[in-house]
Structure 1
Amino acid sequence: MSGTCALPGGADDRADGRNDDHDDDAPLPAALIAVRPTRLGATRAADEEFVAEEVPVALEYNGLSHAVMLATPLDLEDFALGFSLTEGLLASPADLLDVEVRARPNGIALQLRVTARCEALLKERRRSMAGRTGCGLCGTDNLDQVFRPPQRPVPPLPAALTANEALVAALSRAMRELAAAQPLQQRTGGIHAAAWCGVDGELRLVREDVGRHNALDKLIGAMARDGVDASQGFAAVTSRASFEMVQKAALAGMPMLAAVSAPTHLAIRTAQACGLRLAGFVRDARATLYA
């Protein structure tokens, strides 16, 4: 799927972006939808504006339905791979043999073809699942499955970032560039982003989504597809740093997660336990290190 968003031509365009046949060749929904809202207290008529689309996305592994997430219909192949890796459904990108993105009447189906070993793991995890959730603990049915330490140690922070001045400079550059590298956010004001940054803070990859977890999963999937060395930089996100965001970053082998907003206590404890550097309130040339 293309990394550019499809913009409808006007307010009369179908909001679902599909035709009436709903077959496998139907177009996928657009990432942005044009609307004409009523502005209360305004002194002029409302202009046309864009809002972000939010679509149910079903992840199916070798025909087995595992989860339904709400996501922006963009970079879905990256999302499929990143979600599968950070949820522990794949041991490596090589376990994903193929992925097809299919439009459905009520959403999108991501049909993943995975190795037999991964299929067996999925069947084992589904035996006692009572339901699904759109949160970061999707597919988890007991407390023992919540905390999943990385299979490999979190790498150390690159030497270029060990000095406080260099770290602050890199974090500040990353957040400054990230604010200018979010086309969906600039059009809607309601989108999260996750970026992979070099040791100097330069943005290398950016992914956007209505969900902060989805944006990070898309980024991790894109990095895996491109063969990016996750130890040579850090991730920056436009959200708070929650437990599952920290866990996803650690499982992806990132040495640091930098968030524009606050962390939770569980996120701090998890980062400390696995050796991930965690920075919060990264803005205006300052940051707070929590782990």
Structure 2
Amino acid sequence: MVPVSRASTASVPGLAIRREGDRDIARILPEERPVALVFNGATAAVMMATPADLEDFATGFALTERFIEHPDQIESLENITHENGIEARVWLRDDRRDVVFERRRTMLGPLGCGLCGIDSLEQALRPLPTLTGDGPFLDRLEAARATDALRNFQPLHDMTQALHAAGFLLPERGILLAREDVGRHNALDKLIGALARQGIDPGDGAIVLTSRVSVDIVQKTVIAGCRILIAASAPTAYALELATSAGLTLAAFARDGEVDIYSHPNRIRRGHPDES
């Protein structure tokens, strides 16, 4: 049995039909593989994901599912490649083991959904903490240009035109780091995991997404402790309701130097736009 590829992309042949004629082509496509997130020997979720930055993915998932409160509660983390997919195997400290089974869910999540297969409605709509504190603060143009800045951190999307990205924006410093995945919620988990593993406080900046904003995106952002979320597309009405009640600044349609702000606009300094 041959293990699945861990590559993030694959080159495939195709036939291009154009006005000027047909020709053979090669396209680079994104990979997606089943990734089993296994905590202390029990599978918590199986997600279709891009097989890159899986350590960040497992860490971020553990944080946003509240299996852990800090990466130090992870004793070991390894990726095991099988014939049919990849197992991200995580062992937590003894004092976190009961938490895993309380929050455990099993799913095979399609790309558009981060809640598929969850055990109960109560778990899907779990209470969120309230984000306190006024800051951080972004200039209006920082917010409006955030997704444009994120474009410079999407090498896999540049190759495939088919991946989402989540980036972390620090005021007056720009995008600090980003992660990509075929699933927008996977990209966000990878980013949150990367921030935690590098000791960067999500509360110091803004999370920037190439996607729409659904309920699970708001949940993950708030649980991570980030107070500003900027997206290229729209939020759902209920996602906005959750963001408002949790104290999250939610900005959407950030494109070409413009942005809409839907909740807690005090963290976006408006003033007069500086076009210099």
Pairwise same-fold verdict (TM > 0.5): yes
Q: Classify 1:48/1:276 alpha carbon distance in 2 versus 1 (closer, same or farther; 3 Å).
A: same
Distance (whole Å) between structure 2 residues aligned to residue 46 and residue 80 of structure 1: 39
Match of 1:31 in 2: 8
Instruction: Identify which of 96, 107, 118 aligns with 1:132.
Output: 107
User: Sequence identity of aligned pairs in percent?
Assistant: 41
Alpha-carbon distance, 1:200 to partner: 2.4
The code of the aligned residue for 1:85 comes to L
Q: Secondary structure at the match of 2:99?
A: helix
Instruction: Identify which of 233, 238, 255 aligns with 2:205.
Output: 233
Q: Secondary structure at the match of 1:148?
A: coil
The code of the aligned residue for 2:201 comes to D
| 8 A contact 2:165–2:178 mirrored in 1 | yes
The code of the aligned residue for 2:9 comes to L
Q: Classify 1:148/1:154 alpha carbon distance in 2 versus 1 (closer, same or farther; 3 Å).
A: farther
Alpha-carbon distance, 1:92 to partner: 2.2
Instruction: Identify which of 89, 95, 98 aligns with 2:73.
Output: 95
Moved more, 202-211 or 86-95: 86-95
Distance (whole Å) between structure 2 residues aligned to residue 264 and residue 21 of structure 1: 42
1:207 aligns with 2:179: yes
Distance (whole Å) between structure 1 residues aligned to residue 148 and residue 132 of structure 2: 26
Q: Secondary structure at the match of 1:105?
A: coil
| 8 A contact 1:157–1:256 mirrored in 2 | no
| 8 A contact 1:57–1:108 mirrored in 2 | yes
| 8 A contact 2:79–2:86 mirrored in 1 | yes
Instruction: Identify which of 101, 123, 126 aligns with 1:145.
Output: 123
Q: Secondary structure at the match of 2:43?
A: strand
TM-score w.r.t. length of structure 2? 0.88
Q: Secondary structure at the match of 2:243?
A: helix
Distance (whole Å) between structure 2 residues aligned to residue 219 and residue 185 of structure 1: 16
CA deviations 1:70-114 (Å, max 9, x no partner) are 100000000000011111221222221111011010010001010
| 8 A contact 2:131–2:227 mirrored in 1 | no
TM-score w.r.t. length of structure 1? 0.84
| 8 A contact 1:136–1:244 mirrored in 2 | yes
More RCO (CA 8 Å, sep 6+): 2
Long gaps (5+) in structure 1? 1-19
Long gaps (5+) in structure 2? 264-276
Q: Secondary structure at the match of 1:263?
A: coil
Alpha-carbon distance, 1:238 to partner: 0.2
Distance (whole Å) between structure 2 residues aligned to residue 171 and residue 95 of structure 1: 34
1:255 aligns with 2:227: yes
Distance (whole Å) between structure 2 residues aligned to residue 46 and residue 267 of structure 1: 44
Distance (whole Å) between structure 1 residues aligned to residue 132 and residue 73 of structure 2: 22
| 8 A contact 1:155–1:231 mirrored in 2 | no
